[in-house]
Amino acid sequence: MVQTILHGIPVSAGISIGKVYFMHRAGMHVVSHEPVHPDRLGYELERLDMAFDRARQELKDALDKVPPELKEHASLIDSHLMILADPKLQGSARRILEEQCIEAEWALDQAVERIADVFAAIEDPYIRERIQDVRAVSERVMNHLALLDRDNGAAALAAKPLSNRVVLMANDLTPADTIEIEVEKIMSLATEQGGKTSHTGILARSLQIPAVVGVSGLCETVKDGDLVIVDGLNGKVIVNPEEAVLGTYGDLKYQFEKYHQTINQACQLPAETTDGFRIMVYANIELAEEVTAALDHGGEGIGLYRTEYAFMHRRQLPTEEELYEEYKDLASICAPRRVVFRTLDVGGDKIVGVEPTDEANPAMGLRAIRFCLRHEELFKRQIRAILRAALHGNAALMFPMISGLRELNQAKFILAKAQRELEAEGVPYAKDMPIGMMVELPSAVVIAEMLAPEVDFFSIGTNDLIQYSLGIDRTNRYVSYLYQPLHPAVVRSIKHVVDAGHREGIEVNVCGELASDPYCVPILMGMQVDGLSIAPQAIPGIKRIIRQATLEECKDLLRDVLAANTVSKINRQVKETVFKRFPEEVMFFSSLLDLDEG
Ligand code: PEP
Ligand code: MG
């Protein structure tokens, strides 16, 4: 077999060598292409019918709720109901299932592809495009098939149990998909879509799985069962590796693991430079369960709890009590260490099933605080849960995507409302909880001095700040080469926010991926940020850099960086300095920087 090397974007460090398991398309629908035992045929037919029934019911319920002003959505739902009622889809899936004795998902998939062939031959482009509706309906049924599996006590992946650990590959994984992965079975991830800071990468890092995203040609080249190397250090996927390559990677894997053992041993020591500059290193987590990994890796608290995941992988939104229980557990496990609860940041590439998300430009649309201000009850529910949970530990609340004072005041107004309600109901809550905001929009950077007096702390979200400052969709691999964390505008923005916050006497932390980049951390230290909040897995290495560095050398580096006027000059400068000082860290960490250019 011929060795093929595919290139992508390294988003989670590490090396894995193993067999591929391909996940169906964009969703969590694991489609087995194997026949099932004839005894299971009846069950599969029943599952298929039930999934269609549930999809129908779901759409009927949705139809009842459509307000008059959204009539166009009603007609879309109507057309989807018609597709569901049309025997061409369900009938054909049933027939294929019976003929081939296969799983419902695979039968439905084939039925859709047959219909797609018919549509492809239609001349009228409008009608031809309607295949998208058939696909959307099929996706809905697929979701129910997966849920039915779960109802039967098995997770979606368990429908086709994995006996060995695998390299999971997919065209794309949404945050909602990745949450359902049976993590112990996955040794690494590779996807064809995705960019440097897409949430798939963020989750992969926190789960400590090597990952490469944006791999061109992945779906076309790689098959289930292929032997591959996923090189999460250099962004490569090597399919059917040659003997010698396997040997080299075996060695690299060994060195990587040994390095990790060494840094893990020292990870509980404080992050203090040799000349006495102390910086806090917190963890970013997506799931409450990650708190153990965060603390075990030396996290001094949780600097960013991305609370949206609890809202995303379920069909009904969580109640205040559920949220309270989850937040209370997290706050008390971490106590006396700080946990920063970021209020819901959905929209963009994080979808929650509250209303149709058909925005042409979701990253600039109804995202984060904008979404919450539009759904006040939902927002208040979460804030109440955080206020109550804060009594059980050292919690803080932080608003994402604040663009200006008006928005911040609106958010604080709802916070005050939640406090008044709890007061009136006699429900105990923390009255002195610190309130912070994320600085991730250029507008917030420019007016940082106006915002600082209104909050207790800033946390700079560089993932979005870079996206919005440079106009680069963070999930789009075609423009990922333009995602330049050390663009002079980005460096100056961060410095401006740190200085503005410090002038007002508030804490300024950085919680984007830049804070775990070995090349960028010395620059942030030179700015004297108060804390970094990073993936748990990155904490030991970043702490090691801090403990070996001096504040003076970081200030020198910052001075040079600020004096340079192009990204290439900055990257070259940083590469030389940091590589010399921290060779192991830069070798075993994936960087956001495009260092070839520098
Ligand atoms: C950021 O934008 O940098 C950030 C930390 O938030 P998220 O990645 O969740 O958007
Ligand atoms: Mg953000």
- Determine which residue's CA is closest to atom 3 belonging to ligand 1: 461
Which pLDDT does position 15 carry in this prediction? Answer: 94
Q: Is 199 one of the catalytic residues?
A: yes
CA 461 – ligand 2 centroid, Å:
5
| Nearest in space to 135 (alpha carbons), one of 80, 88, 54 | 80
Average pLDDT of the chain is 87
User: Mean per-residue pLDDT for 126-151?
Assistant: 75
Pick the ligand that lies closest to the CA of residue 461.
1
User: Mean per-residue pLDDT for 424-433?
Assistant: 97
Which pLDDT does position 179 carry in this prediction? Answer: 47
CA 462 – ligand 2 centroid, Å:
7
Pick the ligand that lies closest to the CA of residue 308.
1
**Non-local CB neighbours of 503 within 8 Å, separated by 6+ positions:** 449, 452
Which pLDDT does position 391 carry in this prediction? Answer: 98
Q: Which of 24, 80, 199, 297 is an active site residue?
A: 199
* Ligand 1, atom nearest to 462 Cα: 3
* Ligand 1, atom nearest to 514 Cα: 3
User: Could you tell me the two tokens for 182?
Assistant: 């049976």
User: Mean per-residue pLDDT for 313-339?
Assistant: 91
Q: pLDDT-derived band of residue 260, with 50, 70 and 90 as boundaries?
A: confident
- Determine which residue's CA is closest to atom 10 belonging to ligand 1: 464
Find the DSSP H helices in 66-103. 71-85, 87-100
| CATH 3.50.30.10 assigned to 1-24+160-265 | yes
Which pLDDT does position 158 carry in this prediction? Answer: 37
Most confident segment among 67-71, 396-400, 535-539: 396-400
CA 322 – ligand 1 centroid, Å:
24
Q: pLDDT-derived band of residue 27, with 50, 70 and 90 as boundaries?
A: very low
Between residues 533 and 161, which one has the greater pLDDT? 533
Which pLDDT does position 358 carry in this prediction? Answer: 67
**Which residue ranges have their beta carbon within 6 Å of ligand 1?**
304, 306, 345, 440, 461-464, 511-512
Which pLDDT does position 193 carry in this prediction? Answer: 83
The fold for domain 39-156 equals: Enzyme I; Chain A, domain 2 (1.10.274)
Which pLDDT does position 333 carry in this prediction? Answer: 96
Most confident segment among 33-47, 159-173, 380-394: 380-394
Which pLDDT does position 157 carry in this prediction? Answer: 39
CA 11 – ligand 1 centroid, Å:
15
Q: Is 372 one of the catalytic residues?
A: no
Percent of the chain with pLDDT over 90: 59
Q: pLDDT-derived band of residue 324, with 50, 70 and 90 as boundaries?
A: very high
| Nearest in space to 335 (alpha carbons), one of 367, 302, 305 | 302
The fold for domain 274-588 equals: TIM Barrel (3.20.20)
Q: Where are the domains of the chain?
A: 1-24+160-265, 39-156, 274-588
pTM, rounded to two decimals: 0.71
Which pLDDT does position 313 carry in this prediction? Answer: 55
What single-letter DSSP state applies at residue 23?
P
- Determine which residue's CA is closest to atom 1 belonging to ligand 1: 461
Pick the ligand that lies closest to the CA of residue 309.
1
| Angle made by CA atoms 172, 178, 184, in degrees to the nearest 5 | 125
Percent of the chain with pLDDT over 70: 87
Candidate from 266-280, 553-567, 581-595 with smallest mean pLDDT: 581-595
Three-state DSSP at 226 gives: coil
541-579: pLDDT as tens digits = 999 999 999 999 999 999 999 999 999 999 999 999 998
Q: pLDDT-derived band of residue 593, with 50, 70 and 90 as boundaries?
A: confident
Q: Which of 267, 511, 520, 554 is an active site residue?
A: 511
Best of 285, 399, 438, 516 to mutate for ligand 1, by most ligand atoms within 8 A of CB?
438
Best of 346, 349, 440, 516 to mutate for ligand 1, by most ligand atoms within 8 A of CB?
440
| Nearest in space to 349 (alpha carbons), one of 213, 491, 154, 453 | 213
> 524 and 536 in contact (C-beta within 8 Å)?
no
